[in-house]
Amino acid sequence: MKLIKEKKIYTGDGVIENGYIRFDEKIEEVGDMAGFEPKEGDLEVSCAGTMVVPGFIDIHSHGGYGKDNMDATPDEIDEMVKQMTKKEGITTYFCTTMTQTYENIEKAMQNIHDAAQKNPVIKGIHVEGPFISTVFKGAQDPSYIKKPDEKTLAKWNEISGGLLRIVTYAPEEADPAFETWCKENGVVLSAGHSNALYGELNASGATHVTHLYNAQRGLNHREPGVTGYGMLAEGVHAELICDGKHIVPDMVKLACKVRGYDGIELITDSMRAALDETQRRREVQMAYNEEHGITPKTIQKAVRDLISVSRKVAASELQMEKDPESMSEKELEKLIKELEKQMKKAAADLNFEAAAELRDKLIELKKTLQEIKI
């Protein structure tokens, strides 16, 4: 039996300050070192870290390490998830698809099914699009957005071998038959990329909210929207992307205080390019450090300076000649298009802080535009 000992262990129910774990294919025993007794056949595993935590469950991830669930082969998906397990600590993974042609989505369903036969970490599929709102499409291609259709979803579920677990959808666009099919087939209805009103959401079957705060009708003093529903509705769980870019820390605290930790699900929403670029930079830096005998140290000032530069760029991009609240509908639509171009350029230049600032401003402008139209 393998053994890890003298570690701080987070069990999910509590913390053992100095504990041990015996395991093989599964965890067989967890306890405090105060009650530890050696056993014949113990094989101690050397671990560099000081803490042991449960494996991470990622229910919303599009890919990583140069691969994407939408176009990767079964072998590539299998290898990608193995990398996530080894390097990120992922032990349960939902392959997430996105808004594309039905043909491409069906190919992805088949490839994910085949990959899941090889890799037990793949436990399901999260369908994010095409059944969403064009108003809050986010990074989804609007030309492929469709009205929620239970027959199409049933076909995808069949192709995947029954792996569908979550569907992100716009409740305001869905008929009762769509929600009924999901409930009967164990597919969680997650409100996301949605412009739904609070009343519409309360009347819907949604029990989950996709990436709270992002790409959805936000919290407003006159209309709680999707964000308010994710925080307030009884029994609803909400995803959070806690990467420091999608949501500022204080808004994470707000969600946790209002919703409660048991109602929050941390996700990566990772993409092919993001993890691939991060890993590439990490490998280049590690090789350079090793060649030159450098031991990395945290430099707080350098990080703050980088953030400061990004914020200055974002601030310059956001300068406006006219107050948005005094703009006409046409002026707002023109401004939104211009800021979308600036945001995409900032992201392409890897200026993620500026892109995030622009994205947040776009969300505010779209809210203002919707209020004008109501």
The single residue of 262, 269, 305, 323 carrying the catalytic annotation is 269
**How many Cβ atoms from other residues are within 10 Å of residue 7's Cβ?**
18
Distance, CA of 172 to CA of 205 (rounded, Å): 11
| 336 CB burial (10 A radius; 0-12, 13-18, 19+) | middle
For residue 23, the surrounding DSSP H or E stretch is strand 15-23
With H, G, I as helix, E, B as strand and everything else as coil, classify residue 212: coil
Q: Which two tokens stand for residue 252?
A: 């994470």
**How many Cβ atoms from other residues are within 10 Å of residue 37's Cβ?**
7
Closest by CA position to 225, among listed 264, 194, 188: 194
Q: How many CA atoms lie within 13 A of 137 on its CB side?
A: 14
Per the listing, tokens 């108003």 go with 135
Q: Which two tokens stand for residue 6?
A: 């003298």
With H, G, I as helix, E, B as strand and everything else as coil, classify residue 101: coil
User: Cis omega before residue 130 (within 30°)?
Assistant: yes
Q: Does 243 qualify as catalytic in the annotation?
A: no
Question: Are 59 and 165 a contacting pair, CB within 8 Å?
Answer: yes
Residue numbers annotated as active site: 269
